[in-house]
Each structure stands twice: as structure tokens, then as C-alpha cells.
Structure 1
Amino acid sequence: MFEAGSALCGGAPSMNALIVGRVWAGAGGAGMYLGVLNLLSVNTTMQKRSLYMSGCGVFWGIGCILGPVIGGSFSDSSATWRWAFYINLVLFAVFIPVYIFVLDSYQPQPNVSFGEKLKHIDWVGVVLNAAVYCTFVMVFTFGGATWAWNDGRTIALFVVFGVVLMAFVVTQYFSFLTTPANRLFPGDFLRHRSLILLYISQACAATSLFIPIYYIPVFFQFTRGDSGVEAAVRLLPFIIITIFCTMLNGALMPKVGYYMPFFFISSIFITIGGAVMYATVTPSTSNAAIYGYSVLMAIGAGLSQQAAYSVAPAKVAPNRVPDAVGFINAAQIGAIVIALTITSTVFQNVGYRHVAAALKGLDFTSSDIHAALAGAKSAVFASAPEEVKAKVVEGIVKAISDGYILVIVAGAFGLVCSLFLKREKLFMEAGAGA
């Protein structure tokens, strides 16, 4: 909602306004995500909670399907891309009566004032944690693409990232300006073998989920000339199978009791799916083959996407359950940021080299090459000879395929971690996640 309002100032969108709007939208999205988990925990019985939690995965999947389709439709229509943001205002207006009149108010600390609650937040940890991810993204976004890797500005960003990361670790370890109970990151969990393995497993699952979500549509846009809507539709097999396997995991794992096999099987599918996407895909690969490969990754991602949210709370004391959920959330969100940042860097740098080689000897600038990587409607695709465009697309597909190396790595790490998980049977409910 705030993103929409920020982008609507003037005829042409201001980049600063878009950035500010996205920050507000991100804050709202994070609050909604964690808020839903809390509301479901408070307003459902123990018997029904797993059903509602699994339902979160279903609606998340529906959003992944409808979001790009609706947004792409607006972008391709006379309504323009702005309605992709305006629609948040419509949804807010429709559902606000539910928030006000239907949902019960819940105060976990009714005798503590709002000001006291604010004091309990680890503000130093919050700021440093945000700074860690911001500097990490900046380093690998600007490095190699905007600035050379040996440029002083790139080196300075690396230094700042290292300093901020060390500051976050030190302040969390010594609970600087906070207490161990209120610190942002529950560092004591790092002494718990199972929780560390679950943290890594969740990071691997998130990596295997979001790289295909981002790059499968990009592949079809470059190789098939798809519009935004058509490229989003191509993602349907991956999303639908992921939703199904997420629900399957949520239904079966509490009945089976053993959680290790789900992580093990998931990692095998992730590794195989990532390997075939990396090793075999070319611009001429059939649509059916791409769908089949994506289904392999979807099975793996779905079987493990919510599993850690169910297991981790069962491994800690009841009063530490929120910390356990936050711990797994940190793995999920952090892995998404890191994975997409790294693959974007690979795409920009490797893709640039491939496209530059294909255009060697022609009158195209460095800006033209970057524009070609940004979309199929660039000057390169508009004026280059057909045989040259084919080589450009081939180079871009190679760069996309290189990004799936990270999916292979995630699958391999997940497989190793699964082998070290305990072969124990837990009495638990299906948990949150997705």
C-alpha cells in the first residue's frame, strides 16, 4: 500500500520514491507475515491449528501465482503498472472491517505499557542486522556491474560489511544495551546441534524455492519472448507442486513422527532438479523439459519448506518457542536475500561477458549490454542481426543456468545436514512456514 502511494507522485516515477515505498511495503509485509502466525496461534485450537497453518502455505502459493499474473496484466494494459500497487489499497479497504470488528484483540502483556515494550526491543541488534544485509546486497549489486571489483568503492563496501557483521556478532554475544532474553538473535541456539542443522536445512529449502521462482520466468521471457503474464503462467507447475508438497509434508510429518526422512528426500530432489537445470538447459530446451525439471525442484522445496517450523519448537522449552520460530525465520529470510543477491551478481557478471563476446565487433556500448541483460526489449534485441541475437540469448541462458549451481549447493548441504539429524520420533503438530 505504501509502495503504491510513493510511486504515484508525478508523471514519471521517482526512483527515491520507489525505494522509500518498497521499504514501507517490506515492513508491512514482514509485519503481516509474523502477525498471521501469531493470530493463528492465539485464535485456533491445538487440534485445528495445523490445518490453518498449512493454509498459510496455500494462500502464499496463490499469491505467488496471481501476483505476477495480475501485476503483469496491469503492466501490459492501459491501466499501467501503477495499478499493481494501487490494488493494495483496494484489498486493504475490503479487509479492514475484518481487522477491526472480527478479530479479537490480544494482549500477551496487558500490564506492560507500550513504552516499556519498546524498551524491550533490541534496537542495536535491529539496526545492525539491517545494516548487515544492506551492505551485503550493495557489495554484490554494485561490484562487477556498476563498479569494478578492485574499485575503491567496492573494497570500501566489503570493509563496511565486515565491520558491521562483526559488530552485530559482538553486540549479540555480549547482549549490548539489551538482555540475553531480549536480544534479537538467540545465540544460545548455536550450541544446540539439532537447531543448527534445522537452521541450515531451512536456508537450503528457501534457496531452492526462490531461485527458480525468479529465474524460470526470466528464462521464458528471453527464449520465448513471453510477456510478463505469459512468463508468470510458465511458473504454475513449479508453484502448484510446491504447494501440494508443502501441504503433504504438513499432513504426513505429524502422523509419521520422524522428520529426518523428509529433509533427506527433499534434498535429493533439490540436488537432482538443480543439476539438470544447470547442465542440460539451452535456449532450445523444450517447455515440457523445463516444466519437468522445475517439478523436481518443487517437490524438494515443498517437502522441506515448513518442516523446520514444526520441528524446532519441539526441540526447545515452551517459553522459547517464539525464539525458535524467529530463529528459523532468520534462516528463511536471510537465505532468500543471500541467494537472490548472489545469483543476480552471477547473472550480471557472467551474462555481461557472454553478451559482450556475442556482440564483439558490433557498435554496441557497455550500457547496451547491460540493457540487454535487463530485458528483451533493449537496443540489442531491436537492431542486432538474428544470428547475433541467438548468440546473445544463448549467453544469457548460460548465465541463468550458472545460478542453479547455488541450488545444487543448497541440495548438497541439505543432504549432509539431514544425515546428521536425529532419527527420533517427535509428537508434534504441523507447524508454520512457507
Structure 2
Amino acid sequence: MGTELGRPTGARTTATGGPLVAENEHSNSSTPAETLDLIAPPSTSDEKENGNFASDELSPPDAAAAAEDEKQAAKAETTEYPTGFRLVSIILALIMGIFLASLDMTIVATAIPKITDEFHGLDKVSWYSAAFLMTDGGFQSCWGKAYRYFPLKSTFLAAIAVFELGSLICAVSPNSTAFIVGRAVNGLGAAGIGTGAYTIVAFVAEPAKRATYTGFVGMSFGVACVVGPLIGGVFADKVTWRWCFWINLPIGGLSALIIVCFFRTPSAAQPVAAPWREKLLQMDPVGVVLVMGAIVAFMLSLQYGGQTAPWNSSVVIGLLVGFVLITVAFILWEHFQGERAVIVPRLLRQRAICISCLFACIFVGSYYLVIYYIPIYFQSIGNARPTMSGVYNLPLIIATTICMITSGMLISATGLAVPIEVGGAVLAVIAAGLLYTLDIDTGVGKWVGYQLLAGIGWGLAFQIPIIAGQASAQPEDISSVTAMVLFFQCIGGSAFVTAAQAAFVNRLVHTLPITAPDVDPAKVVATGATMIRMVFSDNQVPGIVIAYMAGIKAALAISIGGAGLGLVICLFSKWTRLNFAAVAV
């Protein structure tokens, strides 16, 4: 993770992460401008032997002229970075975009009972989330290619438009089928918004400040994931579940308007020229289809296993075998695709990028699990309404938000990412273990403290895969690297939540015959966390709550493994500074 953005062999940066300019022993002037794309020409073999990029025979006037040219080029490049109100407006627009894309991952959770009441049935409920995650994960890298081969600004606006279209379809959907289609379109747009927002940050923020702004943009994800169920519950209870999607239209429109007015595509972000046929092939449609197929097969196998079908049933085994075969086919396809692959092998072979992708998949994925099951704990065990459940979640959201921003500032100030990453992972492992000890009679002080520690741990390390990945990429690869990290993050989140759901339901179903033998397990699963005290008698509820607690513990145990494996992964990172002076070899 210690490699530097766009650095050619033999180039150096200033100690402040400034432009990549050639050293010249006849001129000790260095430009303080911090730019993404100003890259020194590669040195010749003679220059390498002398240890300098400029010939020793260069006359002083020529050296002075060369230094002046470097200053002028750096000054011109620096002027591309927006400042003041314009920069704040762009960052605010990106925060709104990420907030909406992240909100749609969780807002529907507490609204599902109302949706199923209106659409009369539970047979398609699993697709309400699966459709979104399928396209969100499957199209991440495809959008990364789109940002490389099409104009950055118009592509981001197109992603917002697709997301808004999906929201509109969901808001007016007359049945489950239309709603699922809308969720799939939502996920397609959300994938483009996520990749585009982080890519734009890389081009509008000076290198020394990029980590800070990445932290600001990223904190909206943590906020959205926690408040999503709260907002969904309020809309479902007080107005209508359709407002979970109507709300996206004005906020998304405002984000798009700000981008139109204030964002100007820098020269470094100009699209790569290629024929239309080549652009289409670069999207790797076959790879996208394979990814979505693998995601669906995996999610459905865990949703069905032990719940609607035995684990040894032909349906579950067939889905698991299909998942393995499709995944193998995807890996082979990507290998032979080369630069056209949605997961570019050349980039994945870089140590920093590979570790960033793995860490995002495992460590960040385990955070999804925590933010999903802590509200279930409060609603099922603590008998809290969705609104109060959101209030009880505030320690987690506040700590996560503050530490995401703090992490970015610390990296900007020191250039050190790995110590923060390791420290965050250590705290997350401890917090995950403490959360596992939650029980029916756990006091307020404990669950507040455990959430604070979890927020600090995951918050400190959450954004580092994006920051380190971008710092290791050439300017033309930034969108692809960003998309790859987000792809693995989305896949990891989907896998962890789905696996946790399978563990939760299976443990719940197997515990109920012991703690509540007169209760139908299938009825408990279909009832939901917030309704068990309304549907079942006072004599049955205590046994159901005990079984629920056993299921929640089984789910939270997976987060311990995820955080621990994430800690192991980040230990393989290079302990060097990002964007600081270092000679490439």
C-alpha cells in the first residue's frame, strides 16, 4: 500500500506528496503543487548511471529553464483543483450520492412487512434485497470501465439518472415483479454512483488532502447503513413504504444539479479514445453476467439451506455446485480477457491493490453484518420499535462517522495508512468479540460501550482500501481500481450478510424446539423480529426470545472471523508512506 500514485520508474515526490518531477543536481528547486498527473519523463540509461534524471553536462541556463518549465506546468495542473465553495459543493454532492446509494441497501429492511402486506405474499421477499445486491455487485467494475472510456461528468450523471429511474419504478410499482425490477435498476445505478463518487474525489482533491475528503464521502455510507432501517420504519409506520423511494428523487436531483454547475472534468480525467466496439468489449458483458449468476446462486443457496429446503436437498446442492462452477468460469474468463476483464489481472497482481481488494471484501464485509444484526438485537430482544432501535444504534453510527473522518485526516497528515488499518482491525476484532457476549439482560453501559469500540475499529480502517488502492494506481487506472475495491466490498458484504442470515435462521429453528416446543418455527421465521410479541402468547415469547438470542450470537460469531481475517490480511501490507518521497526501483 505504500506505492505512489502514477509514479514512473525513477520518479520522486516531494515530502508533502507533491508533483512527481525529475530531480536535477543543478537545481534544488521543487514545486509544492500537489497533482495527480504531472509525471516526469523516464530516465535514460546514462542518467540512471549518474543517479540523476538530468545530464551532468546540462548548462545552468538550460537547467534554470527546465526548472521554470516544471513550475509553470505544475502551476497549470494545480489550477485544475477546485477550491473554496466550489470544492465544498462538489464534495457535498458526492456525499449525497453515496448516501442515497448506501441507503437503498438497508432502508427496505424494516419496510418489508408493509410491502408484503400490499403485494399479498412472501414468496418473492428474498429478491427484494437480492435484486439490488446482484446488480450493485455485478456492475461495479463495469462502471469502472465506463468512467475510463466515457466522460467522467456525464457518466456520473448517467449513473444518478439510472438510480433515479429505479427509485421511480419502485415507488409506483403495482406488484412484486415490478418492484423487483425497480430494485435491480436501483442497484445498477448505485454501482455507478459509488465508483463515480470516489473517482471524482481522486481528481478534485489535492493528493495531500485526498484521504481527508475520501473520509468525508465515505462516512455517509456508515450513516446511511445505520439510519436506513430507521427511516424505512418511520415511512412504513407513519406514511407509506413508497416514500422510501420517493425521497431519492429530490436528493438525487440536487446532487446531479450541483455536479452540472460546479464540476469541470480535469484534463487528467479525459476518456481513453477507442472505437465503440472496443468500448463495448471493455465493459466485459460476459463477465458481468457470470458475476451476477454467481451472486444469485450463492445467496439463494444460503437462503434456502435449512430454511425452505434441507441442506442436502437437490435444490441447495445444485445452487452451491452452480455457484462454484460459475465462479471458476468467471476466473478463467477474466484471465483470458486481460485488459478487457472487469477485474483487470494486471491491476490485481499489484500487491497493494490485491490487499486492498481482499481487505475490503473480508473486513469491510463483516461490518455490514454488524450494522444489520445490532438493530435486530434491539428489536427482538429489547422489544424496541424501529425508531428507538435507530436511537440505540447512535453510538455505532457516531463513532464510525467520526473515525472515518479522523482516519482520512491522519493519513493526509502523516501518509501512514497501514498502522491505522492494523489498529482499527485490532479494535474491531475485540469489539466483535464483545458484541458476541450480548445477552438478554445486557445492561445499557455495555451495549453502548461495545458499539463505540466497534465504530472506532471499523471506522478507522473502513476507507483505507479505497485510499491505498487509488494511491497505487496510474491516473488512467483510478476508476478501474476504485471499481474493483468497491466490487469486492459489495461481494463481501453480500456474502457476510447472507451467511449470517443462514446461521441466524438455522440456529433459531434448531433452538426453538428446546426453548418453545409448542411454537411452529416456520411461523416464527415468517413473523419477524418486531412482531413476535404481538403474534405469540405471553407464555411463548420468553422461549422465542431465548432462541432469537442464540440465532443472533451465531450471526455475530461470523463477524469475529471476518474482522480477524481482515487483521491478518492487512499485516501483509507494505509499511511505507503514501505519496511521500521514495525512489521507485
Tell me whether the two structures share a fold, i.e. TM-score over 0.5.
yes
Shift of 1:228: 1.6
Contact 2:211–2:412 (Cα < 8 Å) also in 1? no
Deviations 1:330-378 (CA, angstroms, capped at 9, x unpaired): 2211110111010011111111112233221x2x434313224x23314
- The alpha carbon displacement at 1:295 in A equals 1.5
On the 8 A contact 1:223/1:393 being kept in 2, the answer is: yes
CA distance in 1, matches of 2:261, 2:349: 45
Q: Which residue number corresponds to residue 282 of structure 2?
A: 120
Equivalence map 1:5-404=2 (5 Å): 5-8=168-171, 14-46=175-207, 48-77=209-238, 79-104=239-264, 108-109=270-271, 112=274, 116-175=278-337, 180-278=338-436, 280-360=437-517, 362=518, 364-372=519-527, 374-378=528-532, 381-386=534-539, 388-404=540-556
Larger radius of gyration: 2
Q: 1:407 — aligned with what?
A: 559
Note the C-alpha offset of 1:237. 0.9
- Comparing 144-153 with 63-72, greater Cα deviation is found at 63-72
> Among the aligned pairs, what percent are the same residue?
25
Separation in structure 2 between the aligned mates of residue 383 and residue 101 of structure 1, nearest angstrom: 56
Distance 1:355 1:70 in 2: 31
TM-score by length of 1: 0.87
1:98-151 residue CA offsets vs partner (Å, 9 max, x unmatched): 344444467723755656522321111111111111111111111111111111
Post-superposition offset of 1:203: 2.3
1:7 and 1:14 in contact (8 A); partners too? no
1:155 shift after superposition = 1.4
Q: Aligned in 2, Cα 1:132/1:5: closer, same or farther, shift over 3 Å? A: same
Q: 1:274 to 1:62 in 2, by over 3 A?
A: closer
For residues 318 and 101 of structure 1, the distance between their equivalents in structure 2, rounded to whole angstroms, comes to 24
Note if contact 2:287-2:333 (Cα within 8 Å) is conserved in structure 1.
Answer: yes
1:213 and 1:158 mapped to 2: Cα distance?
27
Residue identity opposite 1:347 in structure 2: F
> What amino acid maps onto 1:274 in structure 2?
A
Kept in 2, the 8 Å contact 1:202–1:304? The answer is no
Shift of 1:316: 4.4
Q: Given residue 369 of structure 1, which amino acid in structure 2 is its aligned partner?
A: V
AA partner of residue 145 (structure 1): Q
Separation (CA, whole Å) in 1 of partners of 2:446 and 2:345: 44
Cα distance change on mapping 1:328 and 1:402 into 2, 3 Å: same
How many pairs are equivalent?
Answer: 416
Offset of residue 222 of structure 1: 0.7
Whole-angstrom distance in 2 between the partners of 1:66 and 1:187: 37
> Matched residues in 2 for 1:224 and 1:149: separation?
32
Partner AA of 1:368 in structure 2: K
Structure 2 unaligned residues grouped into runs of 5+: 1-163
Query: Which deviations, in whole Å up to 9, do the C-alpha atoms of 1:50-79 show, x marking residues without a partner?
Result: 4432220233344345433332211111x1
* CA distance, structure 2, for counterparts of residue 255 and residue 101 of structure 1: 31
TM-score normalised to structure 2 length: 0.66
Give the letter for the 1:345 counterpart.
Answer: A
Asked if the contact 1:269/1:299 (under 8 Å) is kept, the reply is: yes
Distance 2:258 2:474 in 1: 34
- Assess, with a 3 A threshold, how the Cα gap between structure 1 residues 39 and 335 changes in structure 2: closer, same or farther: same
Residues 42 and 189 of structure 1, relative CA distance in 2, 3 Å threshold: closer
State the Cα distance separating 1:213 from its structure 2 match: 0.9
**Range that drifts further, 43-52 or 308-317:** 43-52
Moved more, 96-105 or 259-268: 96-105
The AA in structure 1 aligned to 2:216 is: G
Does the CA-based 8 Å contact 1:258-1:424 persist in structure 2? yes
CA distance in 1, matches of 2:490, 2:543: 36
Whether the 8 Å CA contact 1:198–1:308 is kept in 2: the answer is: yes
Q: SS in structure 2 opposite 1:224?
A: coil
d(CA) in 1 for partners of 2:535 and 2:580?
58
- Distance of 1:110 and 1:425 partners within structure 2: 30
Task: Report the AA paired with residue 192 of structure 2.
Answer: G
- Indicate conservation of the 8 Å contact 1:209/1:298, yes or no: no
Inter-partner Cα distance in structure 2 for 1:149 and 1:238 = 35
Matched residue SS, 2:576: coil
Any idea what SS the aligned residue of 2:307 has? coil
Give the SS at the match of 1:181. Answer: helix
Please say which of residues 140-149 and 192-201 is displaced more in the overlay. 192-201
After the TM superposition, which of the residue ranges 17-26 and 256-265 deviates more from structure 2? Answer: 256-265
Q: What secondary structure is seen at the aligned counterpart in 1 of 2:379? A: helix
Change (3 A) 1:204 1:295: farther
Tell me by how many angstroms 1:171 deviates.
Answer: 0.6
Q: Which runs of 4+ in 1 moved over 6 A?
A: none
- DSSP-derived class of the 2:424 partner: helix
SS of the residue corresponding to residue 404 of structure 1 reads: helix
For residues 346 and 273 of structure 2, what CA distance do their matches in structure 1 show? 29
**Amino acid in structure 1 at the alignment position of 2:520:** T
Task: Tell me how far apart the structure 2 counterparts of residues 109 and 264 of structure 1 sit (CA, whole Å).
Answer: 36
**What SS does structure 1 have at the residue aligned with 2:331?**
helix
Q: 2:212, 2:411 within 8 Å by CA — same for their partners in 1?
A: no
CA 1:207–1:120: 2 relative to 1, 3 Å:
closer
